[in-house]
Structure 1
Amino acid sequence: MRSTTPARRLLAGAAVLPLALALAACGASEAADPPSSDSTATSGATDDATVTTDSDAAATGTVTIEDNHGQLEVPVNPERVVALDNHVFSTLSAWDVELVAAPKPIMGTGIWPEYTENEAVLDVGSHREPNLESIIAATPDLVIGGYRFQESYDSIVSQNPDAVVVEAHPREGEEISDELKRQIEILGQIFDREDEAAEIVADYDDAVTAASDAYNGTDTVVGLITSGGEIAYSAPVTGRSLGMLFPTLDLQPAIEQAAEDTSHGDDISVEAIAAAAPEWIIVLDRDGSGVGEGEYTSAQELISGSAALADVPAVAKDQVIYLDPNFYLTEDIQAYTALFQQIADAFGAKAE
């Protein structure tokens, strides 16, 4: 188990807590009025007090989790939270978790305004030019790192000895569905929202089932990424964002070429796509999230405006699925849930 300074402090506090509660209870008993002769009323009051105490203890103690580095003790419902992993912002926002610092340049505009437009939330900058001093200045109890910031992990740990640093982003080489669910379950433990986390996982599983049931099992599919006015290829299994759709839904790939660039997609010509003649095209518009440079050309313009792709079955039959433009920034379990439902609706509509 990884040892952390705040964890030891919290555990020590937890050991003293029972004695403090006992002394407080004695004082309260001496000052209180004599107990009622109504045994039912007395029993009810005692039960209520016990429930309240248990709830408070569960919400303010520590929990043992296993992140990408091993086991560690994490405070439950920490007061000062820094979040760096784009996978967690939607969940933290839905759970009304306040942040003291976040990487605003890579969070887009209008997705999480309570964080990006709040001057009280310090700006950590982008992963390419991180301002790690902002994390120190925020004096966090918890830092949710990882994903784009995983190269800064050692620095963040050493610079913030009074904080617990957690990395639970999807790990390379692991099954993405399991990793997305694992991450949300860890967040549920930390923020005492395990029931809500279970609901999010259930919604994800339902969307996967719906998409799988709607797929006819034979139509060929290709995943594409557009950026900078160019079309790139997202390989099955390992390709950025879209690769995991193939093993998860057992899709038949129109092109079976291994990924060379798992982050931004591989070069491919429109002629090669046309030759593969996919029945379906699923497209991630990377620049649609506002991260691109120069003049923006949408994925729809690039695909529908290509003469070479005009006769491709997917284009001719209007069987092109465009992801939410913000998908590249979020890539969380909620975004994948929406994508699988979008795929289910598209497959289902064509099957009717």
Structure 2
Amino acid sequence: MNWKLKSAAVIFAATTAVVLSGCEKKPTAQVHNAELLENPITIQHQLGTTVIQQRPQRVAVLDMNEADFLDQLGVKFVGMPKDYVPHFLSQYKNDESVADLGAIVQPNMERIYALKPDLLLITPLQANQYQTLTEIAPTVHYDINFNNSQQQHFESIKSHLFSLGEIFDRKQIAAEKAAELDQKINQAKQITANRTEKALVVLHNNGAFSNFGVQSRYGFVFNSLGVKPASTAIDTSLHGQPISSEFIQKADPDILYIVDRTAVMERRATINAEQVSNPLLRQTKAWKNGKVVFVDADAWYTTAASPSAMRIVIDDVIKGYQL
């Protein structure tokens, strides 16, 4: 029996159990162990509407951003993909109480089904599996735009914090985390406000570069944090606009932020200036003035849309002005 048939059987059995227990005026084991909500929580998101009837007890997260949200709120979860776990969530990598659900982009459905979760949290990276996942458990989609974060990036993060705070009865903690994020944003804006430096954000991947402009995955760096762009090139793809060293040399940024994707994908140390340097790059003001920042790839690439990641990203941005 495949997992879909198993899922249907479990749903049918669970529904029957609820009906029978209703006739007998006895709560089921699931209801007995969970806090029934006096007012069910309705979460509307881009993929649909999710109604939560009881306080979730067995939550599975399918993205590292969601894992960080729950970690920051002090909420335990029973499963997560463990293919690319950022260093700030490393405590869960070998935690046997947290099941390994496979890959972030292609989670293992059999393992998810076997876990018997009562809530699933996903992002756009798992959006294609949404309908299938809803057959296993109520599923909430995190409405974050990974292609173009120019608008509403931090607002989306705070909104998701508040939503999860309501679901898990962590409203106060959610408000505190949102306030901390606002403080970090304001700290960066105060630093960038009167500065004339222009910057590039580029992705390094096995010796090749991609640029991320004002309408890109890292658009929030320019739009929300006040960093002035060294290039007006527009690109909204997930992995940026392929560029050459000549492109960087002509843009001549005062500050160069380098996201080392290879370090994440190959699980190795981040590159340094000596390893990536070439005659064209050495001609830029950023290289000449020592303002090349090799950012935290886990925060910028693996996550980039959660409370911990944003604190690290903002610190990396500020570092470019302090070198």
Shift of 1:330: 2.4
The reply on whether 1:165 has 2:165 as its aligned counterpart is no
Query: How many angstroms apart in 2 are the aligned matches of 1:105 and 1:99?
Result: 17
Q: Which amino acid aligns with 2:204?
A: T
> After superposition, where does 1:69-88 map in structure 2 within 5 Å?
69-75=47-53, 77-88=55-66
The reply on whether 1:89 has 2:73 as its aligned counterpart is no
The reply on whether 1:273 has 2:248 as its aligned counterpart is yes
Find the residue that maps to 1:307 and give its secondary structure.
coil
8 Å contact kept, 1:146–1:167? yes
The reply on whether 1:178 has 2:155 as its aligned counterpart is yes
Shift of 1:337: 2.3
Percent of aligned positions with the same letter in both sequences? 24
The reply on whether 1:251 has 2:251 as its aligned counterpart is no
The 3 A distance-change label for structure 1 pair 129 and 249 is closer
Query: How many angstroms apart in 1 are the aligned matches of 2:244 and 2:144?
Result: 31
Query: How many angstroms apart in 1 are the aligned matches of 2:189 and 2:73?
Result: 30
What residue is the counterpart of 1:333 in the other structure? 307
> After superposition, where does 1:20-31 map in structure 2 within 5 Å?
none
Query: How many angstroms apart in 2 are the aligned matches of 1:58 and 1:341?
Result: 41
> After superposition, where does 1:100-119 map in structure 2 within 5 Å?
100-108=78-86, 110-119=87-96
Q: Deviations over 1:117-174 (max 9, x none)?
A: 123433221144431111111111101122321111111113x1xx211112414665
Instruction: Select 2:43's aligned residue among 54, 57, 65.
Output: 65
Q: Which amino acid aligns with 1:330?
A: T
Instruction: Select 2:282's aligned residue among 297, 306, 310.
Output: 310
8 Å contact kept, 1:224–1:232? yes
Instruction: Select 2:293's aligned residue among 304, 321, 328.
Output: 321
The reply on whether 1:191 has 2:168 as its aligned counterpart is yes
Shift of 1:79: 0.9
Find the residue that maps to 2:184 and give its secondary structure.
helix
Provide the aligned C-alpha RMSD in A.
3.1
Query: How many angstroms apart in 2 are the aligned matches of 1:76 and 1:60?
Result: 9
Instruction: Select 1:236's aligned residue among 201, 214, 238.
Output: 214
Q: How many residues align?
A: 293
What residue is the counterpart of 1:124 in the other structure? 101
What residue is the counterpart of 2:4 in the other structure? none
Q: Deviations over 1:284-339 (max 9, x none)?
A: 122233x138x877153444x22211131111111122221312222223211222
The 3 A distance-change label for structure 1 pair 57 and 76 is closer
What residue is the counterpart of 1:45 in the other structure? none
Q: Which amino acid aligns with 1:135?
A: I
The 3 A distance-change label for structure 1 pair 154 and 169 is same
Shift of 1:100: 2.3
Q: Which amino acid aligns with 1:310?
A: R
Q: Which amino acid aligns with 1:251?
A: V
8 Å contact kept, 2:101–2:111? yes
8 Å contact kept, 2:62–2:107? no
Query: How many angstroms apart in 2 are the aligned matches of 1:94 and 1:336?
Result: 12
The 3 A distance-change label for structure 1 pair 330 and 301 is farther
Q: What TM-score, normalized to structure 1?
A: 0.73
What residue is the counterpart of 2:121 in the other structure? 144
Find the residue that maps to 2:219 and give its secondary structure.
coil
Instruction: Select 2:238's aligned residue among 263, 271, 287.
Output: 263
Query: How many angstroms apart in 2 are the aligned matches of 1:201 and 1:125?
Result: 30
The 3 A distance-change label for structure 1 pair 83 and 75 is farther
Q: Which amino acid aligns with 2:158?
A: K
* Runs of 5+ consecutive residues of structure 1 not aligned to the other structure: 21-55
* Runs of 5+ consecutive residues of structure 2 not aligned to the other structure: 1-10, 27-33
What residue is the counterpart of 1:298 in the other structure? 271
Query: How many angstroms apart in 1 are the aligned matches of 2:100 and 2:51?
Result: 27
8 Å contact kept, 1:181–1:201? yes
The reply on whether 1:220 has 2:205 as its aligned counterpart is no
Find the residue that maps to 1:98 and give its secondary structure.
coil
What residue is the counterpart of 1:36 in the other structure? none
Q: What TM-score, normalized to structure 2?
A: 0.79
Query: How many angstroms apart in 2 are the aligned matches of 1:73 and 1:297?
Result: 43
8 Å contact kept, 2:50–2:139? no
8 Å contact kept, 2:254–2:291? yes
Q: Which amino acid aligns with 1:234?
A: F
8 Å contact kept, 1:281–1:320? yes
